[in-house]
């Protein structure tokens, strides 16, 4: 009797870090989720660079659990596209080559304008103010890590007005897949700090304040497209054995 019509929504990450729900506790319930969150954070922060191997036993010891929940966590991360599992061989942090990364950016180009349009009606003035604040803090960011963190917060906020599920999940997945390469990319420009990005962010907030969804979509599309083309000019970020990857 209780088998029908139980969970309506797929309970997906939405936009921000996944699995922030559960009331924040999660102390006992599922170690898999907790480990997955920890590993995800490590991967997204660059602590675990692409291509690095993940050994079940190490992770289990690190989190004070057995290998079973670690395997669950790895499965979850594989579904997020952050980890590559090969049967009877092991797990590695997912690695994209230039072509795959460009695919991800082409996808973002196509679907993020949709998401910003869906989000616009739900963006309150308070949220837009916070976006302005984040954009300003981004201009003063000291390190690429800080910059990227603020950048993600900014865009997450810009999408927070959307009540979509599938769309937001896909966008989140694409952001996660490419996060490490954005980090490597911005490390190249640590000193100069591209001014264009800040202009684009201001343009985005302006368009959102004016309620112009089409304009906001165009800004986003240009923003992503420009980044994609800039990335394509630095193939050394891919394939090449990363310095501290061992």
Partner DNA sequence: TCCCATGGAATTGGATACAATAGACCCACC
Partner DNA sequence: GGTGGGTCTATTGTATCCAATTCCATGGGA
In the complex, the residues that contact a copy of itself under the rule CB under 8 A are: 1-11, 22, 29-30, 33, 51-53, 68, 71-72, 75-76, 78-81, 84-88, 92, 94-97, 99-100, 103-104, 106-107, 110-111, 114, 164-167, 170, 177, 239, 241-242, 245-246
What is the phi-psi region of residue 97: left when phi exceeds 0, alpha when psi lies from -120 to 50, beta otherwise? beta
55 forms part of the interface with DNA (CB under 7 A): yes
What is the phi-psi region of residue 241: left when phi exceeds 0, alpha when psi lies from -120 to 50, beta otherwise? beta
- List the one residue out of 45, 67, 64 whose CA is nearest residue 54: 67
Question: Which residues, in sequence order, are CB contacts of 224 under 8 Å at separation 6+?
Answer: 105, 108, 109, 112
192 forms part of the interface with DNA (CB under 7 A): no
According to CB under 7 A, which one of 38, 42, 45, 71 is a site residue for DNA?
A: 71
- Which residue has tokens 């911005």? 186
- Helices 166-188 and 31-44 pack at an angle, to 10 degrees, of 40
156 binds, among DNA, a copy of itself, none (CB under 5 to 8 A by kind): none
According to CB under 7 A, which one of 13, 46, 50, 69 is a site residue for DNA?
A: 69
Closest to DNA by CB, 58 or 133: 58
Alpha-carbon radius of gyration of the chain: 19
Question: Which residues, in sequence order, are CB contacts of 14 under 8 Å at separation 6+?
Answer: 165, 168, 169, 172
Question: At its nearest, how many Å lie between DNA and the CB of residue 11?
Answer: 12
1 forms part of the interface with DNA (CB under 7 A): yes
85 forms part of the interface with DNA (CB under 7 A): yes
Question: At its nearest, how many Å lie between DNA and the CB of residue 3?
Answer: 8
Residues binding DNA (CB under 7 A): 1-2, 28-32, 54-57, 64-69, 71-72, 85, 87-91
């Amino acid at each position: 009797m209780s088998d029908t019509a139980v969970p309506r929504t797929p309970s997906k990450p939405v936009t921000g870090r996944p699995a922030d729900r559960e009331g924040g506790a999660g102390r006992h319930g599922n170690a898999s989720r907790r480990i997955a969150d920890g590993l995800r954070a490590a991967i997204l922060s660059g602590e675990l660079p692409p291509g690095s191997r993940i050994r079940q036993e190490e992770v289990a010891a690190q989190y004070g659990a057995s290998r079973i929940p670690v395997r669950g966590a790895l499965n979850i991360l594989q579904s997020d596209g952050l980890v590559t599992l090969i049967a009877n061989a092991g797990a590695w942090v997912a690695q994209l080559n230039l072509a795959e990364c460009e695919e991800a950016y082409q996808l973002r180009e196509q679907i993020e304008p949709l998401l910003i349009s869906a989000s616009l009606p739900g963006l309150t003035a308070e949220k837009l103010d916070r976006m302005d604040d984040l954009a300003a803090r981004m201009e003063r960011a000291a390190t690429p890590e800080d910059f990227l963190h603020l950048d993600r917060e900014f865009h997450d906020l810009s999408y927070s007005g959307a009540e979509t599920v599938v769309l937001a999940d896909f966008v989140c997945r694409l952001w996660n897949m490419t996060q490490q390469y954005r980090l490597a990319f911005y490390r190249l420009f640590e000193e100069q700090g591209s001014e264009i990005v800040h202009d684009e962010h201001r343009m985005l907030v302006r368009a959102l304040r004016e309620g112009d969804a089409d304009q906001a979509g165009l800004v986003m599309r240009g923003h992503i497209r420009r980044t994609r083309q800039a990335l394509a000019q630095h193939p050394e970020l891919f394939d090449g054995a990363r310095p501290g990857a061992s």
